[in-house]
Amino acid sequence: MNRSAMARLQFIHDRIRGGHYPNATNLARELEVSRRTVQRDIEFMKDQLRAPIEYDSRRRGFYYTRPDFVLPSLPLTPREIAALHTAAHLLGLVAGSVLEAPVRSLIDKLVAALPATVSLGCDTPDELSFGLPAIRGDEAQVVETLGLLQEAIVTHRTVDVLYYTAYRNDWRRRRLDPYHLHYRDGAWYAIAWCHWRQRVLTFAVDRMHDVRLTSKAFQVRAGFDAREYLRTAWRIEAGDPVPVAVRFAPSVARYVRERRWHPTQEMQEEPDGSLILRVRVAGLGEVARWVLQFGGGAEVLEPATLRTLVAREAAALAAKYGGRGTIPGPDAQSGRIVSASPNMRSRQLL
């Protein structure tokens, strides 16, 4: 419901409660709307807000059968309140109490504003369940860190953290200017300006320890846009995007068609029923791991770097399981030996 509609409801409520016995024609004239609009507003008040409105045929106007009726400050329906409870439950699953608790507090205030005649079953409906992954890392620590990072983002204050870089097995203290928090696949990430690296990087929140909020203020770098930053990533790893093309066999293509994998994707149907998916992304290590889940049903067409990554990993798997796979040599473009091991990470994800 928009603001003008809420203003109309308040006006109608004031006129009825004031004992003026307004009718639809008079209200329409005063509100400068159609009579039909007023009638819809009256029906909404009766059905959704449980307003005790009746029509007095002798006085030819509306009145309240309960003079003490108060219009809720925010006209929410029981279904909307239930939806908010479901949202709070979801937030609890992905973020712990740092986001769930404030939302539940807000819901309690909204429920208190509803008429006493409205009763709500406020738990998540039994008909719904959510197969979301548990938060990665120690949940209590992640929740505490998220709270500090949120405060840093809102107040534009630098944080000092002890950070663990997994692929280097390295602990290092860093000063970060947090710009944005992003949840993906059970893990929270902070996009921040790194004072040491002097660029925007993505940090795993569960690898942050001994987080301290400093008094040093910062300004977000000009031109930074979190959505654009994340848009270049396949999942989390950001960087310079490159064109990627993967051909899927007919037996696999039917599943690939069902989902939107990336904002930049284009699907090209082939006469034999196969499908070519084209995207423009960074983080080829993530793309390689995604392609490998389709086994022989997927073939990387470009770039050569990604094709080599997938081929090396497939050959390593074949060798491990008794096959004769050979490990490809250097990258066809750069001549550099590249690895597709699970520890491989884009430089943008630390």
Q: Which two tokens stand for residue 110?
A: 């909204």
Q: Which two tokens stand for residue 173?
A: 């203290």
CB 88 within 8 A of CB 49: no
255: pLDDT strictly greater than 80: yes
**CATH 2.30.30 location in the chain:** 139-231
CB 325 within 8 A of CB 317: yes
* Residues 82-114 pLDDT 10s: 677 677 667 666 655 556 667 667 666 666 555
CB 318 within 8 A of CB 325: yes
Domain range 139-231, its CATH number among 3.40.630, 3.40.50, 1.10.3470, 2.30.30: 2.30.30
Amino acid present at 31: L
Q: What residue spans of the chain are helical by DSSP H?
A: 3-17, 24-31, 35-47, 78-95, 97-113, 139-155, 226-231, 250-256, 284-292, 304-320
As a CATH number, domain 3-64 is 1.10.10.10
Considering the entire predicted model, what is its pTM?
A: 0.60
β-bridge pairing 242-248 and 157-165: unpaired
Gap between the Cα atoms of 288 and 298, Å rounded: 11
User: What integer pLDDT is reported at residue 83 of this predicted model?
Assistant: 73
Mean pLDDT score of the chain, rounded to an integer?
82
* Residues 318-342 pLDDT 10s: 898 876 655 554 444 443 434 444 4
Give the range among 122-126, 226-230, 294-298 with minimum mean pLDDT.
122-126
**CATH 1.10.10.10 location in the chain:** 3-64
Gap between the Cα atoms of 153 and 284, Å rounded: 29
CB 159 within 8 A of CB 215: no
117: pLDDT strictly greater than 50: no
User: How much is the average pLDDT of 283-298?
Assistant: 93
Give the range among 38-52, 75-89, 211-225, 329-343 with minimum mean pLDDT.
329-343
Sheet holding 275-281, edge to edge: 266-269, 275-281, 242-248, 298-302
User: What integer pLDDT is reported at residue 81 of this predicted model?
Assistant: 65
Dihedral (C-alpha) 217, 236, 285, 259: value to the nearest 10 degrees?
A: -160
Give the range among 1-10, 53-62, 73-82, 305-314 with minimum mean pLDDT.
73-82
Q: Which residues pair with residue 55 across a beta bridge? A: 62
User: What integer pLDDT is reported at residue 348 of this predicted model?
Assistant: 45
